[in-house]
Chains A and B, each alone.
Chain A
C-alpha cells in the first residue's frame, strides 16, 4: 500500500517536447526507486512549472539511505545525468530511517 500525494502548478500549457519527455523519465525513475527500494507508505509527487523554470520534488517516508556510502544507485545516476543534460540542479536529502527527498530544478524556454 503506497499513498500518492500529488501537487502540480502551471502545467496547463505544453512544454517543449524534449523537456516533457525528460521530466516524465525523471519522475518515472524516481518513483521506480521509491516503489522498488524505499519501503515507503507515502510518496509526494510535485511538479511546479513557472514561466522560466520548472521544479520537481519526489519525497517519501521510507527507509532512506546513507548518502556518503550508498553511491552506486544506477537509478539515481540516470536522474543525475538527465538533470545535468538540462543544466539543472539536484538536491537530495536522505538518511537511514529518515526517508528520501529529491528536488530538481531547471530553466525552461518560455512561450512554447
Chain B
C-alpha cells in the first residue's frame, strides 16, 4: 500500500513534534515535512508530493482558513485537515467551505486522528468527536454566504464577462433562471450591482480570474 504523505503546519514547535511522534505510530503514514506558516507551506508543496496537509487554524499573518482556500485552489487533489483548539461553529464552517476534509480539535485522541486522516484520504468529511457531540445535526450559520453549484457557475461566467443570454446558452438553463441566480447572488452578498458582486466574489476567492 502506498504511504500517505503528510505535511504538518503549526506555529508551535511542540505541536509539530508531538504530532510527528504520534503519526510515527502508523507505518502507512509518512510525515514528509513540517511548516510554521502559510508561506513555508506553499513552498514545501511546490517541491514535494503531499497527500494530506494538517493545518492549524490559528496561524500568524495568514490564517489556516485562508491557507486552506489557497491550498485547495492550487492543489485541488491535496486534502486538508484543520486542527485547532477552537470549537466555534464559524471556524468549522469556514474551513469546510474552503475545502477542508475535516476538523480536529487538539484534544483529539490518537484513534481520532487516525480516523480523520483515513477518512480525509478516502475523500470523506471528518469532524472531531468533540464537535459532533456539541453540534450534532445542528445548523451552521456561515459568516460568508455559501453559494450553490449553479450560483458558482453563473458567478464565474459573470466574472468572465458573459451576458445573461450567453450564460443561459452555456449552462442550458433559461434566461429567467440565470436572472434568478444573479438576483440570489446580489442578495446573498448584499450588493446592488454586478461590479460590486464581482469585487466580493474575487475577494472571497469564489472565482478564478
Tell me if B150 is interfacial: C-beta within 8 Å of chain A: yes
A44 to B142, CA, bound (A): 11
Kindly list chain A residues whose C-beta atoms are within 8 Å of the C-beta of B148. 44, 46, 57, 59, 101, 103
Asked if A5 contacts B180 (CB within 8 A), the reply is no
A53 to B181, CA, bound (A): 12
Residues in A54-96 with C-beta less than 8 Å from chain B: 55, 57, 59, 61, 89, 91, 93
Residues in B125-155 with C-beta less than 8 Å from chain A: 125, 127, 132, 135-142, 145-146, 148-151
A10 to B174, CA, bound (A): 23
Tell me if B15 is interfacial: C-beta within 8 Å of chain A: no
Asked if A103 contacts B177 (CB within 8 A), the reply is yes
Residue pairs across A and B with CB atoms within 8 Å: the count is: 69
Asked if A1 contacts B127 (CB within 8 A), the reply is yes
Tell me if A48 is interfacial: C-beta within 8 Å of chain B: yes
Kindly list chain B residues whose C-beta atoms are within 8 Å of the C-beta of A9. 184, 187-188
Tell me if B199 is interfacial: C-beta within 8 Å of chain A: no
Partner of B125, one of A48, A61, A103: A61
Partner of A91, one of B150, B183, B184: B150
Asked if A50 contacts B183 (CB within 8 A), the reply is yes
Asked if A7 contacts B146 (CB within 8 A), the reply is yes
Tell me if B173 is interfacial: C-beta within 8 Å of chain A: yes
Task: List 12 other contacts, CB 8 Å, given A48-B187, A91-B150, A103-B148.
Answer: A3-B140, A4-B138, A5-B139, A5-B146, A7-B142, A9-B188, A48-B183, A59-B149, A89-B174, A89-B176, A103-B150, A105-B176
A residues with a Cβ closer than 8 A to B are: 1-7, 9-10, 41-42, 44, 46, 48, 50, 53, 55, 57, 59, 61, 89, 91, 93, 99, 101, 103, 105
